[in-house]
Amino acid sequence: MRVIMLAPPGAGKGTQSERIAARYGVPHISSGDIFREESAAGTPTGRRLRGYLESGDLVPDDLVLSLVEDRVITAVRTRGGFVLDGFPRTLAQAEAAAVMAGKARASAQAAVYLDVPQDVVIARITARGEDRADDSAAVARHRFAVYLENTRPLIDYYAGRGILVKVDGGPAIDAVSQEIFAALDQLQ
Ligand code: ADP
């Protein structure tokens, strides 16, 4: 199973990605988790990442690709698929991912878009509290604006490629999972 997750910040993308990964036996690759680990490790790259993470701005595409590409290729080779959570996040990343997938003959089968209204996601992020440096209300609003400008266009991009699966992310977690599984089961 090869799936890309698309959603505004706070829509439950990480939670649903975990569940999809468990159900279909493929790795969950979260760009945000990769970047937070690198940042916590205090490497030179980690220090470069920290400012972007704290402000909610996008990490530059070349740095994103350098940290994510090998993991995706390894996932395809060793596990036959992936759930991509947080990547691609810009059109340039989506185009780079498509080239990468073409070479590996492992194009995404579905781009699952979790649709959740802005007021709901901002409330969810701020309710998450102080666990993450980027969860304050002001940064949450900024991350949503960054999402609208850079990531939302990917919905049309994947619709154009015929792999978009739109799911209402508003209901309870289990109900959302069931709707996603119902769509993805048909692809197997
Ligand atoms: P959320 O799912 O709540 O939006 P993530 O954990 O996916 O948060 O991402 C946290 C931060 O990591 C983003 O605000 C951004 O700074 C950075 N980031 C993650 N993935 C990417 C990406 N593909 N391109 C650029 N920046 C990214």
Atom of ligand 1 nearest to the CA of 87: 23
d(C-alpha 142, C-alpha 134), whole Å: 10
Measured at the alpha carbon of residue 157, what is the angle toward residues 161 and 148, in degrees to the nearest 5?
A: 155
103 is catalytic: no
For the chain, list the domains and their CATH numbers. 2-185 (3.40.50.300)
Measured at the alpha carbon of residue 29, what is the angle toward residues 20 and 34, in degrees to the nearest 5?
A: 145
Interval 93-109 mean pLDDT: 92
- Catalytic annotation, pick one of 128, 141, 152, 161: 128
Strands of the sheet containing 28-30, edge to edge, are 28-30, 82-85, 2-6, 110-115, 164-168
Residue whose CA is at the smallest distance from ligand 1 atom 4: 9
Predicted local distance difference test score (pLDDT) of residue 77? 94
In 3D space, the residue among 161, 155, 26 whose CA is nearest the CA of residue 102 turns out to be 161
H/E stretch holding 157? helix 153-160
Q: What is the pLDDT of residues 141-157, one digit of tens each?
A: 899 999 999 999 999 99
166 is catalytic: no
Phi, psi of 8 (to 5 degrees): -65, 160
**pLDDT-above-70 percentage for the chain:** 98
pLDDT for residue 129 is more than 70 = no
143 is catalytic: yes
Written as six digits, the tokens of 183 are 């769509």
d(C-alpha 149, C-alpha 83), whole Å: 23
128 is catalytic: yes
d(C-alpha 91, C-alpha 88), whole Å: 8
pLDDT category, 130, cuts 50, 70, 90? low
Q: How many residues does the chain have?
A: 188
Three-state DSSP class for residue 89 = coil
Q: What is the pLDDT of residues 4-46, one digit of tens each?
A: 999 999 899 999 999 999 999 999 999 999 999 999 999 999 9
Atom of ligand 1 nearest to the CA of 146: 14
Q: What is the pLDDT of residues 163-182, one digit of tens each?
A: 999 999 999 999 999 999 99
Predicted local distance difference test score (pLDDT) of residue 22? 98
d(C-alpha 118, C-alpha 10), whole Å: 9
- Mean pLDDT estimate for the chain: 94
- Catalytic annotation, pick one of 2, 19, 36, 143: 143
Atom of ligand 1 nearest to the CA of 8: 4
